Homo-oligomer: A and B are copies of this chain.
Amino acid sequence: MPSCSIVFLPLNKKVKVESGISLLEAAGHAGIIINSVCGGDGICGRCKMIVKSGKVKSMTSPLLTREEIQHGVVLACTTYVESDIVVEIPAETLAEEKIIVDRDAQRFRAFRSGITQRQFSKSPLVFKIFLKLDKPTLENNLADCQRIQRMIEKHAGISAMQTGLKILRQLPIVLRKNNFAVTAIIGQRRDVAELIDIERGNSAGRNYAAVVDVGTTTVIVHLIDVIKMTTIDAQACFNSQVIFGREVTARIIAGEKKGAAILQEKIIGDINRLISALALRNKVSLKDIIFVVCAGNTIMTHFLLGLPADNIRRNPYTAVSIEPSPFRAAETGIKVNPRGLLFCVPGIGSWVGGDITAGILATGLYERDDTAMLIDVGTNGEIVLGNREWMIACSASTGPALEGGGVKCGMTAEKGAIEKVYFEEEHLRYKTIGNGPPRGICGSGIIDLIAGLLAKGVIDRAGKFIQGSDPGLKRIGGIWRFMIAGKGKGRKGREVYITQDDIDNVITAKAAVFAAVKIMLDRLNLKISDVKKLFLAGGFGSYIDRRNAIRIGLLPDMPVSSIQYVGNTSIWGAKLAAFSYEAYNLMHEIRQKTTYYDLMGSPDYVEQFKLAMFLPHTNIELFPSFSESPAPDA
């Protein structure tokens, strides 16, 4: 093989390679990491390069426009070097190193739900079976499709199966080219199975799925190995719909004006970037990611599917669908196996979405004999109350303060986030995730901080700074702030502080949650002592100080031993469904069984909300553990 010399611009990296190898491989030899994730399957279209001079052999691809092709743009994975060449790598093709790992990734490897540790049968929503079929003979000349179906029935007990025309048309060729040894991909749609695709040879060992928590503020993807039932890796990013507003209402309005597609594009872009990065880092081909399970609030699910969400924001707050059927992922623009399926976890109502159904499943609340409560705090706070007999759910708008958004130095619970704050002999101490220099503060840290400031008398019960109470309280540029981590000499990391606005945002958030809890209990004539277990879910950090959460009035005053921080139950529940059709079906039962209660229809919500705007509450008798606290100023 003659050797060719390749120059990669603008990095100006040079490499000598054998003629005939792909540009993608050549870039690898040059030590350049590019965005390719499907490794030659030409699915992702993320390895674009521009051939400036020299000769290549390149396939045309529908992922390139005519104009791009005319300007020399190629996909590196399907372009082969034939001479000395000069290639330019566009900025977007170079892989970014900005990676956020979700800590829950490591936490929920186990294949069980909740406290009761219920075991589900292993039965992934999409699975593969390697089939060594008997070759047809005169005595057994069953049709190709029925031959496959019979074998699948034998192995998986699935009899009726939908099969698309595309698959049927390829079937006889694929079977005969591979000597009747093929891998069937079977999707378990609701109530019916689908023969999704037939792959050559034995690919049954490669079955990956993306499990997505579609949050208003944060989008988290876990890449799971469906065979081994493990979480391989996880990554999160902020939801880029934020350009249309932090609150869902602003985004719905943007969708009304500009069409639902514009919001869909943003969220699908985020999901695709996360999946791509995970696939690349873990050397998984996009083709082998054969399904996606998404859990999110009802509005995010609408945006994901390109559904108009207009009516959700207007009285009487009606969604298009809270239980969408499984679709082909490609129909929404998600780039995994082109025939892969997208499952959305069914929701409970317009403002209580699939993330909460997932939470009910994950915590096992639906099968408890005693009455329990699930509080999931994100950009909205959702509360579920119930047991095996009945369940009721509602939602309150909290804003993102408790997950690190809407707070100046706030951040999601990732490396460098201050996740724990406490005072030691008047000195403030903190601990960061990963124990490195601080980059910001996450939910659990914020709760600790406000509880500490209250106990120390730096803020009053209305959450207002008491000037002169502490040297950490400083006025910079006319705004008062309490310093957590300064920029002092020799100190690494960012300056981290909290402002009056930040504290007000946190109090608003916790008041919204508490008011909702109070109304739910009142409606059902229950006292907080009737609730035997409280699950706190959300992306606060790796753990939260339960006593501090009570002290600021986010949680009701109950024994801390009955409160359990359960992390991201949206991902956890969605993952259970991914691994088990039984769990997936159970989600649909849960959604049927859970009554949706709309706080918008509650006349006393505003009053209860106002009462909860103090620390811990206006009516201190609701918090007997802290009744020694000073009386409210107002």
Contacts and interface: CB of A to CB of B under 8 A. Distances in A.
Contact of A146 (B163, B173, B321): B321
A141 B321 contact: no
Contacts of A596: 141
Interface in A177-205: 189-192
* Number of chain A interface residues as a range: 35 or more
A189 B172 contact: no
Interface stretch (A209-217, A309-317, A422-430, A458-466): A309-317
A331 interface: yes
Interface in A304-348: 305-308, 310-311, 315-325, 327, 331-332
Contacts of A306: 165, 169
Contacts of A161: 325
29 contacts: A138-B315, A139-B601, A141-B316, A141-B596, A143-B298, A143-B320, A143-B323, A143-B350, A144-B321, A145-B321, A145-B323, A145-B324, A146-B322, A160-B191, A162-B189, A162-B190, A162-B325, A163-B321, A163-B325, A164-B325, A164-B327, A165-B331, A165-B332, A169-B306, A169-B320, A171-B321, A172-B311, A172-B320, A191-B192
A327 B322 CA distance: 26
A410 interface: no
Contacts of A189: 162, 192
Nearest to A171: B320
A136 interface: yes
Number of copies: 2
A369 B150 CA distance: 29
Contacts of A601: 138-139
Contacts of A308: 169, 172-173
A600 interface: yes
B324 A163 contact: yes
A137 interface: yes
Contacts of A152: none
A168 B322 CA distance: 11
A88 B162 CA distance: 47
Contacts of A190: 160, 162, 192
A50 interface: no
Nearest to A298: B143
A103 to B, nearest CB: 34
Interface of A: 136-146, 160-165, 168-169, 171-173, 176, 189-192, 260, 298, 305-308, 310-311, 315-325, 327, 331-332, 349-350, 596, 598, 600-601
Given A141-B316, A165-B306, 18 more contacts: A136-B316, A136-B318, A138-B317, A140-B316, A141-B349, A141-B598, A143-B319, A143-B322, A143-B349, A161-B325, A162-B325, A163-B324, A169-B260, A169-B307, A169-B320, A172-B311, A173-B308, A191-B192
Nearest to A349: B141
Contacts of A191: 160, 191-192
Contact of A172 (B146, B169, B310): B310
A168 B318 contact: no
A324 B168 contact: yes
Contact of A144 (B140, B162, B319): B319
Contact of A168 (B138, B165, B298, B320): B320
A350 B260 CA distance: 48
A191 B477 CA distance: 68
Nearest to A144: B320
A446 B26 CA distance: 75
A348 to B, nearest CB: 10
A136 B317 CA distance: 8
A146 B324 CA distance: 9
A165 B320 contact: no
A169 B260 CA distance: 9
A165 B327 contact: yes
Contacts of A298: 143
A517 to B, nearest CB: 21
Nearest to A142: B318
Given A143-B350, A189-B162, A192-B192, A316 B138 contact: yes
A138 B311 CA distance: 12
A332 B305 CA distance: 27
A168 B307 contact: yes
A578 to B, nearest CB: 20
A136 to B, nearest CB: 4
A318 B162 contact: no
Considering the complex of A and B, which 5 residue pairs feature the smallest CB-CB distances, nearest first? A145-B321, A143-B319, A192-B192, A138-B601, A141-B316
A568 B4 CA distance: 70
A601 B137 CA distance: 10
Contacts of A164: 325, 327
A314 to B, nearest CB: 10
A600 B192 contact: no
A385 to B, nearest CB: 19
Contacts of A331: 165
A321 B143 contact: yes
Contacts of A173: 308
A585 to B, nearest CB: 10
The residue among A139, A321, A332, A598 with the most chain B CB atoms within 10 A of its own CB is: A321
Contacts of A169: 260, 306-308, 320
A306 B170 CA distance: 11
Given A143-B321, A600-B138, A165 B305 contact: yes
Contacts of A325: 161-164
A165 B324 CA distance: 9
A143 B192 contact: no
Contacts of A320: 143-145, 168-169, 171-172
